[in-house]
Structures are given as C-alpha cells and as structure tokens.
C-alpha cells in the first residue's frame, strides 16, 4: 500500500466516529421524519400511513396558512425595512464623532439580552394597563390606545417591531465590519476621480460591501422564516391565529395537538422552502460580490 493511500485510510478512520455520530443524530432522524410525515402518529401508537393527506391539509389548516402569511410578511419587512435601516445605521456609525463608541455599544446591547427577559419586559410595557399605554393615554387619550399584543390587528405588527429592536443592531454591526474592511486607498482614488455622496456609495461602497450584504440578507431571510421565540413567549400565536408563524404552528401541532405526523410534514415543507430560498439568494448575491 502506498504512503498516500495509507494516509487516506487513516484520515477516514479518524473521521469515522464523527460520521457515525452525525449519521445517528442527524441523517437517520431526518430520514425517519420523512417517513413520519406520511403517517398519522400521536407519538404513542403505531404510525398509520395516510399518503399525502398531511401535506394537503397544510394548505387548508387556518393556523398553518396564517403562519405562512405572517412569516412571509416578516421576510418582506426584513428585506425592505430592516436591511436598509441597518445599512443606514452602519454608515452613520462609521463616521467619526464623539459619542460613536457609546452609540455602537447601545445599538448592539439588545442582541446580548436573553429573549425570555426581553419578552417579559416588553410584555409588561405593552400590556393594556402598561407603561406604553400610560404615556399614550396622556398624549392621544384613553379611547385611542390599544391592547398591542391582545388585538388581532396589532399583535403581529407589534411583534415585527419588537424583532427589529434586536435585529437592526446585529445587522448594523456586520455592515460596520464590512465598511471598515474597505481599503482607504479605494476612496482616495474615487475622490481623485470626483466621486462623492450617493455616487460614491453606489459605485464604490456598496459593491465592496456585497459580502456583508450577502451575509445579512441570508441571516434576515432565515431568521424571519424561523421566527418562533417572540410570538411563542408574548402571544402564543394569539389572539386566534393572528400572530402565528410557521414554526409556531408546527410546534403547536406537535406538542399541543400531538399530531406528530402532520407537524413533521409542516417542518419538512418549511425546511425545503428555507433551503430553496437561501440557495437562490446566495446564488444571486454572491455573483455580485467584489473581491478585494
């Protein structure tokens, strides 16, 4: 046996334990879940094969449909509002001014706070007789205040705004790192060519920022599709199903209604959707990246 072939088999031997563990705890459960998605199963009795019924019911279930609509709203809001605001914030925080360090810390601080703590605090602030309505009552009158998390029309928009409290600072830090990685000599060359203001940003800064843009866009889309914590902790999808997300609908189908087969079908559809969207997004944005 040649030396290179021997090294190859030794490397395989070292990789074998990791491959076995990964297969046991990832690949096998995933393949098993595909089987369960075609069954009616409550986690105790023997699964009963029902064909595509679970997948067909996904598009008739009100909670799942509301979850899909709200999740897509979250994706659109993340792309059209959260992402530009994070970029604008990063550009502003990249300028030199006296309180720059303090403001950078302040905007990133919400990211390190536990979501459970965040939910409890915001739940107390936004309840009908909470702090927010106490101030609004004095400004616009008691007749115009809302139960922000307890009303069908305001519960999910409120949750979307609360997610921005953490997400914008997090995305801004990634953009800020990208801005600081752009060599200054590129700006000096652009200045000599007379590029300034919006033209400088459009033709120099933004193309050089594409790697950060790819990462932020990926995190925004996947984070929106996986939104679970805040609606679960603040409203549990209510009132009715107005603040459901797909993840929450899958969770409740499994652990509240004990419909594990149906919940597995929902999670597989969500997984395939996330993979498809991220592959398309990465293929589009990576083609536009500029190497330094």
CA angle 260, 221, 252 (to 5 degrees): 20
**82 versus 186: which is more confidently predicted?**
82
Q: Check: CB of residue 228 under 8 Å from CB of residue 159.
A: no
5-35 pLDDT per residue, tens: 888 888 889 999 999 999 999 889 989 999 9
| pLDDT at residue 97 is higher than 90 | no
Predicted local confidence at residue 292, as pLDDT = 57
Burial code (b: 16+ CB inside 10 Å, e: under 16) for 160-181 equals: bebbbebbbbbbbbbbbebbee
Bond into 239 cis (ω within 30):
yes
The rounded distance, in Å, linking the Cα atoms of 114 and 22 is 29
Q: State the average pLDDT over residues 85-113.
A: 90
264-288 pLDDT per residue, tens: 999 999 999 889 988 998 888 877 7
Q: What are the sequence ranges of the domains in the chain?
A: 60-287
| pLDDT at residue 156 is higher than 60 | yes
204-244 pLDDT per residue, tens: 888 888 889 999 999 999 899 889 988 998 998 888 888 99
* Prediction pTM value: 0.84
27-66 pLDDT per residue, tens: 899 899 999 999 998 888 889 999 999 999 999 999 999 9
The full 3-state SS of the chain, as one line of letters, equals CCHHHHHHHHHHHHHHHHHHHHHHHHHHHHHHHHHHCCEECCCCCCCEECCCHHHHHHCCCHHHHHHHHHHHHHHHHHHHHHHHHHHHHHHHHCCCCCCHHHHHHHHHHHHHCCHHHHHHHHHHHHCCCCHHHHHHHHHHCHHHCCCCCCCHHHHHHHHHHHHHHHHHHHHHHHHHHHHHCCCHHHHHHHHHCCCCHHHHHHHHHHHHCHHHHHHHHHHHHHHHHCCCHHHHHHCCCCCCCCCCCHHHHHHHHHHCCCCHHHHHHHHHHHHHHHHHHHHHHHHHHHHCCCCC
Which CATH architecture describes the domain 60-287? Orthogonal Bundle (1.10)
Predicted local confidence at residue 268, as pLDDT = 92
């Amino acid at each position: 046996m040649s030396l290179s072939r021997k090294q190859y088999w030794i490397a395989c031997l070292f990789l074998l334990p990791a491959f076995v563990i990964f297969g046991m705890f990832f690949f096998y459960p995933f393949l098993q879940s595909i089987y369960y998605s075609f069954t009616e199963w409550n986690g105790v009795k023997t699964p009963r094969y029902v064909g595509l019924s679970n997948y067909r019911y996904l598009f008739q279930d009100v909670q799942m449909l509301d979850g899909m609509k709200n999740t897509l709203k979250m994706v659109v809001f993340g792309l059209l509002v959260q992402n530009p605001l994070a970029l604008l914030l990063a550009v502003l925080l990249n300028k030199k001014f006296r309180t720059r360090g303090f403001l950078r810390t302040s905007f990133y601080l919400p990211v390190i706070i536990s979501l459970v703590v965040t939910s409890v605090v915001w739940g107390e602030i936004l309840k009908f007789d909470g702090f927010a309505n106490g101030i609004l009552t004095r400004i616009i009158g008691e007749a115009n205040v809302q139960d922000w998390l307890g009303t069908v029309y305001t519960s999910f928009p409120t949750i979307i705004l609360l997610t921005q409290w953490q997400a914008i600072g997090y995305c801004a830090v990634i953009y800020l790192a990208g801005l600081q990685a752009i060599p200054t000599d590129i700006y000096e060359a652009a200045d000599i060519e007379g590029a300034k203001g919006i033209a400088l940003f459009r033709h120099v800064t933004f193309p050089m920022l594409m790697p950060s843009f790819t990462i932020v866009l990926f995190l925004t889309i996947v984070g929106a599709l996986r939104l679970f914590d805040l609606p679960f902790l603040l409203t549990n999808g209510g009132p009715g199903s107005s603040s459901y997300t797909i993840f929450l609908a899958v969770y409740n189908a499994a652990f509240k209604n004990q419909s594990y087969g149906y919940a597995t079908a929902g999670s597989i559809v969500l997984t395939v959707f996330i993979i498809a969207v991220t592959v398309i997004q990465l293929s589009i944005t990576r083609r536009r990246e500029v190497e330094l």
